């Protein structure tokens, strides 16, 4: 019969060490102390990627902030007006072909707002100068675990060169990420360099196949920070829209008062004559 396993060897108790650094601190610094280790490149990279980098990124986004508002069914007529204002060349780049006015109306009326998202940028006259459509689709065939959304954008000619397409792309990526989407897809003509440049700068993989190109951007999982960022941007976009609407109402009222005043003044002069 095997005997019991030997008990674990007990280590002799160690007397608590004296805090000599504290005791000797009264005599001043140690002249023979080793020099402090120099910060390595890894340490510096960690510092750069810490709060300072986050603050710098936040300030950069704040300096380029654009009020973006989520659109709904009641904005269909504004979307149609925006798309109809595009030149044939711009329609061709946006849709891959030059749709007629009737086809544009059919496209806008067919958007399912319960599934997809549409983002817009208004000018001070409440005209849509840029519109992005984020279409949520089924996962690719053979990859049921992947979730994907397709992005399309249009900007009026007089509003280009201000980074509106890039900001709409960033906001659409944020919204898709917060809905659990892991891939943002862009299908564009190869000659649509502006759209492909936006996707490439965001880190998307761009594949060209003759006259057509596709871009795939993998999105990270959502976080509390990304959810808060979307809620804040939605709130600010709504405030901006309401402010512009009130300003438009006030401007219309002032114009009406001026028109009535001019009418009475002209009537008074006619009566005197």
CA angle, 211 then 212 then 215, to 5°: 145
Answer whether residue 65 shows pLDDT above 90. Answer: no
Percent of all residues in the chain with a pLDDT value above 70, rounded to a whole number: 64
3-class state of residue 168 by DSSP? helix
Q: Is the pLDDT confidence value at 107 over 80?
A: yes
What residues have CB less than 8 Å from 57, skipping those under 6 apart?
A: none
Range of the domain at 97: 64-236
Residue identified by tokens 């898709």 is 176
pLDDT reported for residue 180: 93
Alpha-carbon distances, residue 264 vs 97, 207, 254, 261 (angstroms): 54, 67, 15, 5
- Going by pLDDT thresholds of 50, 70 and 90, the confidence category of residue 125 is confident
Query: Structure tokens of 271?
Result: 């009566």
The whole-angstrom separation of Cα 68 and Cα 27 is 64
Is the pLDDT confidence value at 159 over 60? yes
Tens of pLDDT, residues 140-155: 666 666 689 999 999 9
Are the beta carbons of 123 and 116 closer than 8 angstroms? no
Instruction: Give the residue carrying structure tokens 């610094």.
Output: 29
| 188 or 267: which leads in pLDDT | 188
Please indicate, yes or no, if residue 89 is contained in any of the structural domains. Answer: yes
Residue 98 domain flag: yes
In a domain, 132, yes or no: yes
Query: Could you tell me if 88 and 257 are in contact, meaning their C-beta atoms sit under 8 angstroms apart?
Result: no
- Give domain status of residue 232, yes or no: yes
Give me the mean pLDDT over the 212-238 stretch.
Answer: 89
Of the pLDDT bands very low, low, confident and very high (cuts 50, 70, 90), residue 258 is low
Local confidence band at 51 (pLDDT 50, 70, 90 cut-offs): low
Instruction: Note whether residue 93 is domain-resident.
Output: yes
For residue 196, being part of any structural domain is answered with: yes
Give the model's pLDDT for residue 3: 45
33 has a pLDDT exceeding 80: no
Average of per-residue pLDDT values in the chain = 78
Q: Which residue has the higher pLDDT, 252 or 74?
A: 74
Report yes or no on 243 lying in a domain.
Answer: no
Q: What is the pLDDT of residues 195-209, one digit of tens each?
A: 999 999 999 999 988
Domain CATH number, residue 214: 3.40.630.30
DSSP H/E element including 24: helix 20-24
- Whether 12 is covered by a domain: the verdict is no
Cα–Cα distance for residue pair 50/15, rounded to 1 Å = 41
193 vs 48 pLDDT, higher one: 193
Whether 176 shows a pLDDT value over 70: the answer reads: yes
The tally of domains found in the chain comes to 1
- Nearest CA among 89, 128, 135 for reference residue 110: 135
């Amino acid at each position: 019969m095997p005997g019991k396993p030997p008990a674990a060897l007990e280590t002799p108790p160690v007397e608590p060490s004296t805090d000599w650094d504290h005791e000797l601190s009264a005599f001043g610094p140690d002249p023979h102390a080793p020099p402090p280790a120099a910060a390595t490149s890894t340490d510096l990279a960690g510092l750069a990627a810490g709060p300072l980098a986050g603050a710098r990124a936040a300030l950069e986004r704040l300096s380029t902030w654009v009020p973006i508002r989520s659109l709904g069914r009641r904005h269909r007529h504004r979307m149609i007006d925006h798309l109809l204002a595009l030149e044939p060349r711009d329609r061709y780049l946006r849709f891959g072909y030059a749709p007629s006015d009737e086809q544009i109306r059919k496209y806008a009326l067919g958007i399912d707002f319960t599934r997809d998202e549409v983002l817009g940028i208004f000018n001070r006259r409440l005209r849509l100068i840029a519109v992005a459509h984020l279409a949520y689709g089924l996962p690719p065939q053979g990859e049921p675990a992947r979730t994907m959304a397709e992005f399309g954008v249009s900007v009026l000619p007089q509003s280009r060169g201000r980074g509106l397409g890039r900001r709409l792309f960033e906001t659409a990526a944020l919204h898709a990420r917060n809905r659990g989407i892991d891939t943002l897809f862009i299908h564009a003509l190869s000659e649509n360099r502006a759209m492909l440049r936006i996707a490439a700068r965001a880190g998307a993989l761009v594949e060209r196949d003759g006259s057509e190109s596709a871009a795939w951007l993998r999105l990270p999982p959502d976080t509390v920070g990304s959810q808060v960022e979307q809620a804040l941007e939605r709130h600010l976009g709504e405030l901006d829209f309401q402010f512009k609407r009130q300003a438009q109402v006030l401007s219309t009222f002032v114009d009406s008062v001026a028109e009535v005043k001019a009418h009475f003044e002209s009537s008074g002069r006619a009566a005197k004559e």
